[in-house]
Structure formats: structure tokens, C-alpha cells
Amino acid sequence: MDNNNLPVINLHEFVDWVEADPSNRSFKVDFNGWEYGRRLSVWVYNSKLKESQYVTRVDEINLEERAKEKKMKQFEALKAEFEGVNNG
């Protein structure tokens, strides 16, 4: 099997990332075989933020920003919904 097109993933970095907040963080290595183009990645999850992401390096993790963006979208949707109620 030719593994030249698979990324090199340093799992020690992900272990360190989890150990910085072990009650909220976790990761899982995910390999999609030939059917999906042989993709190797790491799924990271933060239970406090209720946010996850696929990455290949720890420095790609941006769960806090993703959670903030999601909350902002929810806020804007609620704001639009209730502004219509107050004006109508």
C-alpha cells in the first residue's frame, strides 16, 4: 500500500492538547479508505463548547472561534425574529 499521499500526523501534539483540558477535550483519528480518496485526519471535540472539527495539525484547531461564530449566527437570527415582533 502506497502511503506517500497521507499526511504525517503527530499524535503527541493532540494528546498534549487534550491534557490541557481533559474534562472537555477529546480526539479521534479517522481514516477514510479508497472509497473517499484515502483521507487521514483527526476529529477534535470540545464538550464544553459543543463544537468539533476535522484537522491534521493542532495549530489548525479553532473550536472557540467556530463556537463564537455559531452563537453570533443564532443571536442574529433571534434578533431578526424578535425585532419583527416588536415592530409589528
Q: For the chain, what is the HEC assignment?
A: CCCCCCCCCCHHHHHHHHHCCCCCEEEEEEEECHHHCCEEEEEEEECCCCEEEEECCHHHCCHHHHHHHHHHHHHHHHHHHHHHHHHC
Whether the per-residue pLDDT at 1 is higher than 50: the answer is no
pTM of the full structure:
0.77
Question: Mean per-residue pLDDT for 46-51?
Answer: 97
CB distance 81 to 69 below 8 Å? no
Question: Mean per-residue pLDDT for 31-42?
Answer: 76
